[in-house]
């Protein structure tokens, strides 16, 4: 079946199941120690890349929508997502389905709710749905080289800005770094997310002053230079800071 | 015309003009030096209090929606709002219109986008629309004494949490305090928003360290005790901090 027919077949079923005009778009970032990636699908139709988004079932809460869609379209389960923006320009998706007529469910105006999360990519076994030819992690540094559908580039950009703002007042790193890590590794995580180099002395002083780190009686073995100290997170302080924020009054 | 007939008349017009299933709810907080208030309508129908929300026109961007509705329903113009949450439980509004049948536009399932802002109440000349008997500032401390429609109490609560989180990393006070203010006045603003008392020494030290304050060569005249120093905001530093956040890396 060609990709056009596939969408036409889905359209009638979609009208039965889903609310009109509403979609969700999850931006799942992956951190693999060196760079940030984002989870994208390449759909059979048009061969452009998209976020693994979808529509809201008439019989489900909105919170359930994004979890169901990630499972169906990417094989991604058990993620904690935060809503970061609603994308509601009236013509945001009109061109994408231009070679269909107005009766196609997918072609109507959609206002899309954006969610984001940041995980270690190893956590997931990606699969793709029947509408897509692949589901992959794409490095943010490669995004300028690919074709992204509709306003999905803007959605990813807004998610990244939200993530950067978030780490200015909430701790990060748990579940992204190994249980024991070095300060250079933690600094690298911040630098990758912020997209800029940080002054080592300032970073060490500031991160230590938060109380979220616990210095271990171990050093990372091997290496040509002085073996670096190992740290782990003080989970109690880490969680306290997650709730209260770094610079609470 | 009774309030029931008024809604029935509006319903047919609404189906022509608005997208189904989507609404917006603005939470406008007012700070009047002593307490926080929130802007609410009391609708003719049911006489319950609600946020001045509404529906999305088919021919407008979502950003335009909330501005138009605030003007139409409350006379509020020129406000900068931030989206803070989407409220999408499937039964969130079903009981409110229970004495209508399913053909009423207002009775369908709505997923609502929440926006908030914080202003000095004197800035606005409130009016109310024909569906409401009043539009007023209601003190947050009095909310427990009034009947709020649907999940609007939850929406206000989430907006307040967002505002509290926001002031942990962004400056606040410009446009809320007089041009020249004292440190106790600024502290009171933070205490009112946070809903708790702050240690004076810690607050003074921390707020001064941000660089957003400029000490003036004046003292507040009068008063029985020692005249307090007057301050104004250093707008350059204030705006820098608005962009970068208080605890940027």
Residue A83: strand, helix, or coil: strand
Tally the domains of chain B. 2
What pLDDT, on a 0 to 100 scale, did the predictor assign at position B93?
A: 82
Per-residue pLDDT tens for A11-55?
999 999 999 999 999 999 999 878 999 999 999 999 999 999 999
What pLDDT, on a 0 to 100 scale, did the predictor assign at position B224?
A: 61
CB under 8 Å to A12, separation ≥6 — which residues? A105
Q: What is the rounded average pLDDT of the residues A82-110?
A: 92
Contacts A–B by Cβ distance under 8 A: 100
- Examine the domain organization and report whether A192 and A73 are in the same domain: no
- Examine the domain organization and report whether B37 and B158 are in the same domain: yes
Reported ipTM: the value is 0.92
Per-residue pLDDT tens for A156-197?
999 999 999 999 889 999 989 999 999 999 999 999 999 999
- Examine the domain organization and report whether A140 and A106 are in the same domain: yes
Work out the mean pLDDT of chain A and round it to a whole number. Answer: 93
Per-residue pLDDT tens for B139-195?
999 999 999 999 999 999 999 999 999 998 899 999 899 999 999 999 999 999 999
Residues B19/B114/A114/A233 CA torsion (nearest 10 deg): -170
- Examine the domain organization and report whether A155 and A201 are in the same domain: no
What pLDDT, on a 0 to 100 scale, did the predictor assign at position A88?
A: 96
- Examine the domain organization and report whether A45 and A132 are in the same domain: yes
Please name the member of A60, A62, A90 whose beta carbon is closest to the beta carbon of B59.
Answer: A90
CB under 8 Å to B201, separation ≥6 — which residues? none
User: Among all residues of chain A, which has the CA nearest to that of B203?
Assistant: A249
> Is pLDDT above 90 for B55?
yes
Q: What is the rounded average pLDDT of the residues B194-200?
A: 95
Q: Which of A133, A166, A199 is the last residue of a domain?
A: A166
Residue A66 lies in a domain: yes
> Is pLDDT above 70 for A109?
yes
The CA-CA-CA angle for residues B119, B121, B127, to 5°, reads 115
Highest mean pLDDT among A104-118, B87-101, B223-237: A104-118
Contacting residues of B for A21, CB less than 8 Å apart = 19-22
Residue A150: strand, helix, or coil: coil
Here the tokens at position A131 are: 């509408």
What pLDDT, on a 0 to 100 scale, did the predictor assign at position B147?
A: 93
Give the 3-state secondary structure percentages of chain A, helix then strand then coil, rounded to 5. Answer: 35, 25, 40
- Examine the domain organization and report whether B82 and B196 are in the same domain: no
Gap between the Cα atoms of A81 and A166, Å rounded:
13
Q: The domain containing residue B203 runs over which residues?
A: 183-244
> Is pLDDT above 70 for A66?
yes
Residue B149 lies in a domain: yes
Residue A224 pLDDT level (bands cut at 50, 70, 90): low
Per-residue pLDDT tens for B88-123?
999 898 789 988 999 999 999 999 999 999 999 999
Q: Report the CATH number at residue A219.
A: 1.10.10.10
* DSSP 8-class letter at A193: H
Lowest mean per-residue pLDDT among A59-63, B94-98, B120-124, B204-208: B94-98
Residue A84: strand, helix, or coil: strand
Residue A172 lies in a domain: no
Report whether B219 contacts B240 (CB < 8 A): no
> Is pLDDT above 90 for B220?
no
Residue B177 lies in a domain: no
- Examine the domain organization and report whether B124 and B230 are in the same domain: no
Q: Which of A124, A141, A166 is the last residue of a domain?
A: A166
Residue B172 lies in a domain: no
- Examine the domain organization and report whether A29 and A90 are in the same domain: yes
Pairwise CB contact (< 8 Å): B61 & A169:
no
Over pLDDT 90: what percentage of chain B?
Answer: 84
Q: Which of A166, A193, A227 is the last residue of a domain?
A: A166
Here the tokens at position B178 are: 């007089």
> Is pLDDT above 90 for A198?
yes
Residue B116 lies in a domain: yes
DSSP letters of chain B? --HHHHHHHHHHHHHHHEEEEEEEEEEEEEE-SS-EEEEEEEETTTT-EE-S-EEEETTS-HHHHHHHHHHHHH---S---EEEEEE--TTTTTTTTTTS-TT-GGGS--EEEEEEEEE-GGG------TTEEEEEEEEGGGGGGS-B-TTHHHHHHHHHHHHHHHTTTS---TTTS-SSB-HHHHHHHHHHHHTS---HHHHHHHHHHTT-EEEEEEE----SSPPPEEEEE-HHHHHHHHHH-TT--
> Is pLDDT above 70 for B85?
yes
- Examine the domain organization and report whether A141 and A200 are in the same domain: no
What pLDDT, on a 0 to 100 scale, did the predictor assign at position B221?
A: 77
- Examine the domain organization and report whether B147 and B224 are in the same domain: no
Mutation choice for B interface testing from A67, A82, A90, A173 by most B CBs within 10 A: A90
From residue A197, alpha-carbon distances to A174, A192, B244 in Å are 21, 8, 16
Residue B234 pLDDT level (bands cut at 50, 70, 90): very high
Residue A178 lies in a domain: no
Residue A226 lies in a domain: yes
Gap between the Cα atoms of B38 and B9, Å rounded:
29
Q: Report the CATH number at residue B142.
A: 3.90.79.10
Residue B1 pLDDT level (bands cut at 50, 70, 90): confident
Gap between the Cα atoms of A5 and A148, Å rounded:
22
What pLDDT, on a 0 to 100 scale, did the predictor assign at position B199?
A: 96
Q: Give how far B222 is from chain A: nearest CA, Å.
A: 30
Gap between the Cα atoms of B211 and B230, Å rounded:
15
Please name the member of B22, B109, B190 whose beta carbon is closest to the beta carbon of A111.
Answer: B22
- Chain B positions with Cβ closer than 8 Å to A: 19-22, 56, 58-63, 65, 83, 85-90, 109, 111, 113, 165, 167-169, 190, 194, 198, 203, 206, 244-249
Gap between the Cα atoms of B186 and B199, Å rounded:
13
- Examine the domain organization and report whether A74 and A115 are in the same domain: yes
> Is pLDDT above 90 for A226?
no
- Examine the domain organization and report whether A81 and A195 are in the same domain: no
Over pLDDT 70: what percentage of chain B?
Answer: 98
């Amino acid at each position: 079946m060609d990709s056009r027919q596939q969408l036409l077949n889905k359209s009638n079923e979609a009208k039965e199941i889903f609310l009109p005009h509403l979609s969700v778009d999850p931006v799942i970032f992956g951190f693999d120690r060196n760079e940030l990636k984002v989870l994208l699908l390449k759909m059979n139709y048009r061969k452009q890349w998209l976020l693994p988004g979808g529509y809201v079932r008439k019989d489900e809460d909105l919170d359930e929508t994004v979890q169901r869609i990630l499972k169906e379209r990417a094989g991604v389960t058990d993620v904690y997502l935060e809503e970061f923006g609603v994308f509601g320009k009236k013509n945001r998706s009109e061109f994408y389905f231009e070679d269909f007529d107005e009766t196609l469910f997918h072609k109507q105006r959609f206002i899309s709710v954006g969610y984001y999360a940041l995980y270690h990519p190893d956590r997931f076994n990606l699969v793709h749905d029947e509408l897509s030819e692949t589901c992959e992690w794409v490095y943010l540094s490669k995004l300028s080289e690919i074709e992204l559908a509709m306003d999905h580039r803007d959605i990813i950009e807004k998610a990244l800005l939200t993530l950067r703002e978030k780490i200015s007042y909430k701790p990060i790193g748990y579940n992204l770094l190994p249980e024991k890590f070095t300060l250079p590794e933690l600094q690298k995580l911040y630098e990758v997310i912020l997209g800029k180099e940080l002054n080592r002395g300032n970073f060490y002083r500031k991160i230590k002053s938060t109380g979220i780190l616990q210095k271990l009686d171990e050093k990372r073995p091997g290496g040509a230079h002085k073996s670096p100290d190992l740290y782990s997170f003080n989970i109690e302080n880490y969680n306290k800071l997650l709730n209260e924020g770094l610079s609470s009054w």
